Amino acid sequence: MLKYSKQRELIEQAVVSGRAHPSASEVYNSLRPLCPNLSLGTVYRNLTLLSEKGVIQKLHMPDGSDRFDGSTHNHAHALCVSCGKVQDVGALFEPELAETGFVMTGSQLVITGFCESCAEREKIENA
């Protein structure tokens, strides 16, 4: 059973409001003025909890950093290799991306699911 906490509400707000894709420590730092005795462990705990509940989405960037996205629908992201900023990409195609000023140097698509043998063993079928 899930009980309310002010901290969780603040953490959810920090991710859901705004187009940024903050890391755990960025969420933590942004909330410290509002909640000075907030613990970093609480931030991690709730970010994981909220992503498990489907409220937010956890993203593993190709540079190894973990970031959180307030929208849970599946969409593409553009990661700046210089400053680390992550922005949403509306279209998948390079020409449209270039219109945003983003200079693409690479991309990585990772599909998750169950491989043939695991799907058989666990009796998981395509919808």
Binding site for DNA (CB under 7 A): 1-8, 23-25, 35, 37-42, 44-46, 48, 65-66
Q: Is 28 left (phi over 0), alpha (psi -120 to 50) or beta?
A: alpha
Per partner kind, with CB cut-offs from 5 to 8 A, the member of DNA, a copy of itself, none near residue 102 is a copy of itself
Establish how many alpha carbons lie within 13 A of residue 126's alpha carbon, considering only the half-sphere containing its beta carbon. 2
Residue 101 tokens, joined: 């000023």
Q: How far apart are CB 9 and a copy of itself at their closest, in Å? A: 27
Distance in angstroms (rounded) separating the CA atoms of residues 41 and 36: 14
Question: Is residue 49 near a copy of itself by the rule CB under 8 A?
Answer: no
Which single residue is written with the structure tokens 């992550």? 86
Contact positions vs a copy of itself (CB under 8 A): 59-64, 66, 74, 76-83, 85, 87, 89, 92, 97-98, 100-122, 124-126
